[in-house]
């Protein structure tokens, strides 16, 4: 029982060390942001078409992304044809992702403006939220679909090597060589 008491005492002390303002104001400072729901860094990432973790289910299940494939092209021993196809896939994807990122930032700006106006119509709000959510879905789909297409351009051995180079080699679960 003394051990439980000392753990409890540590937790109380740790909680006391957190400033009251941090405990009750998790959004403090964010009210000054141009877009309340997105940080400047998130806006930058969306506008650049960045991955932002949207393709993790693909990346971590043996479906490489074209940007990293190109970075590792020599180690993967890509052929000239594979390099060209990967570059073409990446360029097309980046253009699509940047367009969707721009749409998402605009949709979030519209949501922000609805509330900054002080009056929010229920139907208008519902439409704006659904629009934003649909764009997020399309953005993620674009990233995942690009990984799916990338996988088709590589051999099983190249995918295995990619996973090793990226630090994913352990825990492959035996599904490493399934070409999809």
CA distances from 29 to 59, 68, 116 (A): 34, 35, 16
**Where exactly are the structural domains of the chain?**
34-166
Of the candidates 129, 55, 132, 125, the residue with the CA atom closest to the CA atom of residue 101: 132
Of the candidates 86, 134, 87, the residue with the CA atom closest to the CA atom of residue 107: 134
The dihedral through the CA atoms of 80, 83, 86, 87 has a sign that is negative
34-166 classified as CATH 1.20.120: yes
- pLDDT for residue 174 is more than 50: no
Do the Cβ atoms of 105 and 38 come closer than 8 Å?
yes
Give the rounded percent of residues in the chain with a pLDDT score beyond 70.
79
Taking the whole predicted model, whether its pTM rises above 0.75 is answered as yes
∠ CA 120-124-126 to the nearest 5 degrees?
A: 100
Per-residue DSSP letter, 38: S
When pLDDT is averaged across residues 125-131 and rounded to a whole number, the result is 96
């Amino acid at each position: 029982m003394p051990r439980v008491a000392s753990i409890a005492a540590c937790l109380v002390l740790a909680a006391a060390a957190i400033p009251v303002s941090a405990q009750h104001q998790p959004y403090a400072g964010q009210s000054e942001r141009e877009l309340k729901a997105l940080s400047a860094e998130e806006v930058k990432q969306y506008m650049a078409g960045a991955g932002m973790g949207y393709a993790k289910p693909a990346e971590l299940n043996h479906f490489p992304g074209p940007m990293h494939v190109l970075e590792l092209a020599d180690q993967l021993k890509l052929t000239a044809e594979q390099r060209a196809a990967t570059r073409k896939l990446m360029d097309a994807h980046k253009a699509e992702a940047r367009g969707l990122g721009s749409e998402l930032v605009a949709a979030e700006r519209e949501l922000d403006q609805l509330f900054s106006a002080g009056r929010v119509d229920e139907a208008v709000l519902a439409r704006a939220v659904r629009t934003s959510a649909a764009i997020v879905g399309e953005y993620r789909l674009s990233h995942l679909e690009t990984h799916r297409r990338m996988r088709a351009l590589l051999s099983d051995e190249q995918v295995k090597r990619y996973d090793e180079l990226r630090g994913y080699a352990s825990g492959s679960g035996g599904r490493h060589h399934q070409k999809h």
